[in-house]
Amino acid sequence: MDKFEEKLNEISHMSDEDKDGSLEELKGECICALCPTYNACSENANELLFCVIGKSESCIKDDMGCICPSCPVALEYEIGVIYNLYCILDSELKQRK
């Protein structure tokens, strides 16, 4: 199990309140909103942390460039190099499968 899987496993065993807090903390480090692919629809829907939560449900359709590998979350958990463009393709774990 790598660092990313360990973090997700840790989060999955938390209470709902603690899980929400942990995800909000990760969202605070997230740079999705700075990405050229991120758009006003995603901003209005408060979509962030695609590497964990998964792809945009209806907002993001076009790849305008990807900054996932430079995200502090990706760097900390050693993801984003092999799999990325999470907002369109899906979360790290889903892309691994």
Tens of pLDDT, residue by residue over 15-55, are: 999 999 999 999 999 999 999 999 999 999 999 999 999 99
Higher pLDDT, 1 or 32: 32
Residue 47 has a CB neighbour count (10 Å cut-off) of 22
Residues of the domain holding 79: 3-96
CA-closest candidate to residue 18, choices 86, 26, 6: 26
pLDDT of residue 41: 98
pLDDT of residue 90: 98
For the chain, how many structural domains are there in total? Answer: 1
**Lookup: tokens for 91:** 């979360």
Q: Give this prediction's pTM.
A: 0.94
